[in-house]
Amino acid sequence: MGPVVYMVSSKLVLGLLGIIITFSPGVIYGVYAHGPAYWGLSHHNDQAVAGLVMALEQSVIMGTALAVLFSRALAESNREAERAERLLDAGGV
């Protein structure tokens, strides 16, 4: 259960950070505000796109990892239930 708690808490914190970066009313890092603009985006729009990409990427990666963890936990639970059933059957015979 520890890895699941870690993944969920990380997902929440990183998701919140991505939302803050995306919807920030101004440029967060002053250094970048004075640098060159890339791809024809304003510094604020570049920051918003970066926050959105960060939030989407971590949602896909961590969502996939959580699905794998849950499927493994479910498979392990099924194996334990089958073992317990076999032990009961063997003891009752």
Domain ranges of the chain: 2-92
Residue 92 pLDDT greater than 80, yes or no:
no
CA atoms of 28 and 84, how far apart (whole Å): 56
How many angstroms separate the CA atoms of 71 and 30, rounded?
Answer: 44
Residue 52: which pLDDT band, with cuts at 50, 70 and 90? very high
What are 23's two structure tokens?
A: 């919807």
For residues 63 and 4, is the Cβ–Cβ distance under 8 A? no
Q: What is the pLDDT at residue 93?
A: 53
pLDDT at 82 over 70: yes
Contact indicator for 27, 89 with CB cutoff of 8 Å: no
| Mean of all residue pLDDT scores within the chain | 86
Q: Pick the residue with more confidence: 93 or 66?
A: 66
User: What is the percent of the chain with per-residue pLDDT over 90, rounded to a whole number?
Assistant: 15
pTM score of the predicted model = 0.68
